[in-house]
Amino acid sequence: MAKRELPGWQSLPLYAFLTSLGIFASLLPRRAEVALGRALGRLVFRAKLFKRGVVEANLARCFPRLDGPSRLSLIKRNYEHYGVLLFEYMHFFSPLKGHWRRYVPTAARAEGLEHWAKANARGKGVIFFCSHLGSWETGAAAVALSGVGATIVTTVLTPRWLHDKITACRASVGMDAAFHPGSMSNVLRTLRRGGSVAFMNDQYARPPMGLPVVFFGTRVDTLSVVGPLAKRTGAAVLPLHTFRAPDGTTIARIEPEFDLGEKPEDAEASTQRVASLVELWVRENPDQWLWMHRRFKNLPVPQGAA
């Protein structure tokens, strides 16, 4: 089903507002936007706004032994992270030509490019799996600017001008996109010509694209295409671990080729391996994950959650 476009009386004010934010962000030094973002996050935390109930329910499920003060501290740091993310996203809407391409190196850097070069040299394509840790947009853009031209699997946004604006920014750093539903034909073409594709493997994904595997002790529907797709195409699978350093910079670290097990075509087994690594990433930097996402959709809210 096609997404409904916003009427003009709603779309035009949104366009003007986001453009104003883009101009504001374009004028800010990087250190200032990190400081302001964290301050804004603290204000939202105190006001208990912006999907606070979802955040608390997710943390109660995933860290049941965390005491009240420790959980509040984690939530506070998580909202500080969201505040910085907001400022980073403002740069998508700068009216200055080429701004996103110039901004990304100030906010993120890529590591582990030698792992991609080794896998890419085989000529069978590369499948990245990623998560919503750190600033995944600037991290992915930093990887692309380093010469890794990947196709990301994502969704169509509305209104159309918003979709076109973000797509153009991604393209300016060398990122292509395959939009779902219906993204698989584009993904297969990319891999068959030896290109790279990237999937986000930490969100709720209903069947047939997802199946239940264990994530933080709960069986929950998870994107399950990586293993079967690697078996079908012969593509190498690389983890792309994004996380934020103390100064606010996002590190996008390409890790060595991932072992999907003896039977990558076994979707449940290979997906469990991927989900377990993503969980490890989240446990390393729990304040930087997207806890406001309804990862455990359709499951009972755990006791003790707000």
Structure tokens at 13: 């004010």
Check residue 248 and give left, alpha or beta (phi > 0: left; psi -120 to 50: alpha). left
Query: Tokens 């969100």 identify what position?
Result: 203
Determine what percent of the chain is predicted with pLDDT higher than 70. Answer: 95
Q: Which helix or strand (DSSP H or E) is residue 214 part of?
A: strand 210-215
Of the pLDDT bands very low, low, confident and very high (cuts 50, 70, 90), residue 3 is low
CB 230 within 8 A of CB 288: no
pLDDT recorded at residue 157: 87
Q: CA geometry: angle at 51 spanning 47 and 56, to 5°?
A: 90
CB 30 within 8 A of CB 103: no
pLDDT recorded at residue 125: 97
pLDDT recorded at residue 300: 75
For the residues of 44-72, what is the DSSP string, one character each?
A: HHHHT-SSHHHHHHHHHHH-TT--HHHHH
Q: How many CA atoms lie within 13 A of 238 on its CB side?
A: 30
CB 92 within 8 A of CB 163: no
* Statement: residue 290 has pLDDT above 60: yes
pLDDT recorded at residue 64: 94
pLDDT recorded at residue 264: 84
Check residue 298 and give left, alpha or beta (phi > 0: left; psi -120 to 50: alpha). left
* Statement: residue 6 has pLDDT above 70: no
pLDDT recorded at residue 4: 61
Q: 199-223 pLDDT, tens per residue?
A: 999 999 988 889 999 999 999 999 9
* Statement: residue 56 has pLDDT above 60: yes
CB 58 within 8 A of CB 50: no
Between residues 282 and 7, which one has the greater pLDDT?
282
* Statement: residue 305 has pLDDT above 60: no
Of the pLDDT bands very low, low, confident and very high (cuts 50, 70, 90), residue 303 is low
Determine what percent of the chain is predicted with pLDDT higher than 90. Answer: 83
Q: 119-161 pLDDT, tens per residue?
A: 999 999 999 999 999 999 999 999 999 999 899 999 888 888 9
pLDDT recorded at residue 306: 47
Rg from Cα positions in the chain: 19
* Statement: residue 103 has pLDDT above 90: yes
Spatial neighbors of 271 by CB under 8 A, at least 6 apart, are 211, 213, 222, 223, 224, 226, 227
CB 233 within 8 A of CB 192: yes
| Residue 201, helix vs strand vs coil | coil
